[in-house]
C-alpha cells in the first residue's frame, strides 16, 4: 500500500456513525478508567480513596491545560488532510507533540516540586497528606505522558483512525486494572503498595498506551518523528493550533468557573441539594457522552470537508449531525426520566434526594437536547476556524444569564435546584440558538486556516 493510500483510506470512507462510535467508547472508557482506581481502592482503604480523590481535583485541571493544544491540533490536521496537504499535517503533528511535550514536562516538574503546596490549597487533611503526596508525585510527575497521549490521539482521530485510539484505550484500561489488582491485593507475594501502587499502575499503563499510539501514528501516517527539526518547521502551523486551542480553553475555563459559582449557590440550599446535584450529574454524564462523541466526530468530518473546500457539504453535515444528536439525547433523556428513581437508588435510599433528583432528571429532557446545539455546532464552528465567537457568546450567556438566573430562581425565588436547572436550560438553549444562527450565516467560510 502506498503512502498516500494509507493516509487517505480512512478519510475517504468517513461516515458519522463509523467515526463516532469508537470516540464514544473511548470517552466512556476514559471516564470509567478514572473510576477504576477509586472502586478498587475502596476495597483497600476509605482514606486512600479520599486521598486520590483530592489529588485528582488538581490533576484534572492539568489535563484541561494539556487539552487546548490537542484540540487545535485536531482541527488543523483535519483541514490539512481534507486538502490532501499531508506535508502540513505531518509538520503540525511534529510541532504539536513537541510543544505539548515541553509544556507537559514543565507542568510535571511544577507538580513534583510544589505538589505539597497545591494539596494544602485544597485543604487536604493531615491524615491524608502522605498518600495524596505519593499519588501526586508519581502520577503528576509523569503527567507529561498524558500530554503526548492527548496530542497523538487527536492526530490519529483527525486522519479518521478513531478505532485505533479506542483500542489503545481499551488496552490501557485492562493493564491499569491488572496493575491495581497486583499492587492492592498482593497476590503471589507481590508487595501491597496501596495508593503508591495505583499511581505506578496508572503511569505504566499510560506509558504503554503512548508507545502503542506512537507506533500506530507512524504506521498510519508515515510521519517521521525527527523532533530535532521541529524548530525549523513553519511556525504558522503552531500558530493555527493555538488560534483554535486557546479560545477553546477559554470557553472551557469560563464554563468551569461559572459552574463553581453555581455550586456555591447550591451549597447555600443545603447538603441534600448538593448531593442530589452530584448524583443527577453522574447519571446525566452518560447522556452527555452521546453529544460529545457526535460533536467530536462531526468536527473531524467538517474539518476535512472544509479543507477540501466542500463548504456546502460541510454546512449540511453539521445540521444533519445536530438532528441526530438531538434525537438521541431526547430519547435517552426520556428513558432516564422514566427510570429516574431506580437509577438514583443505586446511589442512595434518601427519599428527599430521590424526589428532587427525579424532578431534575425529568427536566433533563429539555436540558440535554439544548446542550447538543453547543457540543455539535460549536465543534463545527471550531473545525471551520471560527473559534472566537463561541467564547464571546459563551461568556455572555454563562455569566450574563446562567449565573444570575441560578441565584434569582434558585435562591431568591426559593425554587432551589429546580430553579437552577431552569437556568441551565435557558443558558444551553440561548447559546445553542446563537451558535446555530452563526452557522447558518456562514461567516465561518472566511476563517479557513492558513496552510
**pLDDT per residue over 141-189, tens digit each?**
999 999 999 999 999 988 888 888 889 988 998 898 898 888 887 887 7
> How many CA atoms are closer than 13 Å to the CA of 326, on its beta-carbon side?
15
Same domain, 229 and 242: no
Same domain, 212 and 275: no
Give the per-residue pLDDT at 270: 81
- What is the span of the domain harbouring residue 222? 3-233
Same domain, 155 and 36: yes
- Spatial distance between the Cα atoms of 5 and 9, rounded to a whole number of angstroms: 6
Q: How many residues does the chain have?
A: 451
Give the per-residue pLDDT at 6: 45
Q: Tell me which of 171, 204, 233 is where a domain ends.
A: 233
pLDDT category of residue 39 using cuts at 50, 70 and 90: low
Same domain, 207 and 81: yes
Give the per-residue pLDDT at 428: 94
156, 177, 233 from 450: Cα distances, Å? 21, 44, 15
Same domain, 227 and 257: no
Same domain, 206 and 268: no
Same domain, 27 and 107: yes
All three cell numbers of 333:
433523556
Same domain, 53 and 138: yes
Is 416 among the domain residues? yes
Is 290 among the domain residues? yes
Is 411 among the domain residues? yes
- Give pLDDT tens digits for 70-87: 888 988 998 888 888 888
Q: Tell me which of 233, 250, 276 is where a domain ends.
A: 233
DSSP type of residue 194: T
- Spatial distance between the Cα atoms of 69 and 242, rounded to a whole number of angstroms: 7
Same domain, 58 and 138: yes
* pLDDT greater than 60 at residue 18: yes
- Spatial distance between the Cα atoms of 90 and 39, rounded to a whole number of angstroms: 40
Per mean pLDDT, which range of 43-52, 111-120, 302-311, 395-404 is the poorest? 43-52
Task: Report the 10 Å Cβ neighbour count for 191.
Answer: 10
Contacts of 370 (CB under 8 A, 6+ apart): 425, 428, 429, 432
> Does 34 or 140 have the greater pLDDT score?
140
Give the per-residue pLDDT at 9: 41
Same domain, 51 and 134: yes
How does the average pLDDT of the chain come out, rounded?
85
* pLDDT greater than 50 at residue 346: yes
Is 170 among the domain residues? yes
Same domain, 249 and 391: yes
- Give pLDDT tens digits for 240-281: 888 888 888 788 778 878 887 887 888 788 877 877 887 788
Is 451 among the domain residues? no
Is 126 among the domain residues? yes
Same domain, 81 and 123: yes
- Give pLDDT tens digits for 197-250: 888 988 999 999 999 999 999 888 887 777 677 777 777 888 888 888 888 878
- Give pLDDT tens digits for 53-70: 667 767 877 887 888 888
147, 156, 175 from 170: Cα distances, Å? 18, 16, 9
Burial (CB < 10 A; 0-12, 13-18, 19+), residue 167, is middle
* pLDDT greater than 90 at residue 117: no
Contacts of 363 (CB under 8 A, 6+ apart): 418, 421, 422, 425
Q: Give which of 37, 56, 52 is closest to 132, Cα–Cα.
A: 52
Q: Tell me which of 204, 233, 262 is where a domain ends.
A: 233
Which phi-psi region, left, alpha or beta, contains residue 350 (left: φ > 0; alpha: ψ -120 to 50)? beta
pLDDT category of residue 402 using cuts at 50, 70 and 90: very high
The total of structural domains in the chain comes to 2
Q: Give which of 147, 81, 167, 95 is closest to 451, Cα–Cα.
A: 81
Amino acid at each position: 500500500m502506498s503512502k498516500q493510500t494509507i493516509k487517505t483510506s480512512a478519510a475517504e470512507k468517513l461516515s458519522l456513525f463509523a467515526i463516532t462510535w469508537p470516540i464514544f467508547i473511548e470517552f466512556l472508557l476514559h471516564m470509567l478508567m478514572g473510576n477504576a482506581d477509586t472502586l478498587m481502592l475502596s476495597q483497600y482503604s476509605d482514606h486512600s480513596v479520599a486521598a486520590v480523590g483530592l489529588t485528582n481535583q488538581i490533576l484534572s485541571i492539568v489535563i484541561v491545560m494539556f487539552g487546548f493544544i490537542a484540540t487545535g491540533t485536531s482541527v488543523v490536521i483535519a483541514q490539512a488532510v481534507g486538502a490532501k496537504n499531508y506535508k502540513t499535517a505531518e509538520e503540525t503533528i511534529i510541532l504539536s507533540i513537541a510543544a505539548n511535550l515541553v509544556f507537559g514536562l514543565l507542568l510535571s516538574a511544577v507538580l513534583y516540586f510544589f505538589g505539597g503546596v497545591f494539596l494544602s490549597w485544597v485543604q487536604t487533611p493531615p491524615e491524608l497528606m502522605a498518600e495524596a503526596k505519593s499519588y501526586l508525585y508519581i502520577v503528576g510527575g509523569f503527567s507529561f505522558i498524558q500530554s503526548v497521549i492527548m496530542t497523538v490521539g487527536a492526530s490519529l482521530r483527525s486522519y479518521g483512525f478513531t478505532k485505533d485510539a479506542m483500542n489503545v484505550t481499551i488496552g490501557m484500561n485492562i493493564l491499569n486494572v491488572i496493575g491495581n489488582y497486583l499492587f492492592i491485593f498482593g497476590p503471589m507475594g507481590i508487595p501491597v503498595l496501596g495508593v503508591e501502587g495505583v499511581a505506578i499502575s496508572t503511569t505504566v499503563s499510560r506509558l504503554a498506551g503512548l508507545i502503542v499510539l506512537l507506533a500506530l501514528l507512524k504506521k498510519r501516517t508515515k510521519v517521521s518523528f525527527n523532533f530535532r527539526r521541529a524548530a525549523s518547521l513553519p511556525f504558522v502551523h503552531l500558530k493555527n493550533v493555538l488560534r483554535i486551542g486557546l479560545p477553546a480553553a477559554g470557553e472551557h475555563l469560563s464554563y468551569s468557573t461559572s459552574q463553581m459559582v453555581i455550586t456555591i449557590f447550591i451549597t447555600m440550599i443545603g447538603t441534600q441539594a448538593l448531593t442530589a446535584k452530584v448524583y443527577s450529574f453522574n447519571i446525566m454524564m452518560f447522556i452527555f457522552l452521546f453529544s460529545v462523541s457526535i460533536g467530536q466526530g462531526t468536527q473531524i468530518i467538517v474539518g476535512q470537508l472544509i479543507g477540501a473546500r466542500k463548504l456546502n457539504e460541510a454546512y449540511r453535515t453539521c445540521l444533519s449531525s445536530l438532528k441526530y444528536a438531538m434525537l438521541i439525547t431526547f430519547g435517552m433523556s426520556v428513558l432516564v426520566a422514566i427510570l429516574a428513581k431506580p437509577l438514583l437508588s443505586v446511589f442512595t435510599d434518601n427519599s428527599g434526594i430521590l424526589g428532587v433528583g427525579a424532578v431534575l432528571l425529568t427536566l433533563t429532557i429539555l436540558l440535554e437536547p439544548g446542550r447538543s446545539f453547543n457540543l455539535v455546532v460549536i465543534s463545527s464552528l471550531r473545525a471551520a476556524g471560527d473559534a472566537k465567537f463561541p467564547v464571546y457568546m459563551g461568556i455572555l450567556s454563562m455569566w450574563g444569564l446562567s449565573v444570575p438566573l441560578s441565584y434569582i430562581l434558585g435562591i431568591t425565588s426559593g425554587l432551589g435546584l429546580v430553579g437552577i436547572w431552569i437556568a441551565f436550560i435557558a443558558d444551553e438553549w440561548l447559546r445553542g440558538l446563537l451558535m446555530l444562527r452563526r452557522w447558518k450565516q456562514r461567516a465561518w467560510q472566511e476563517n479557513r486556516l492558513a496552510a
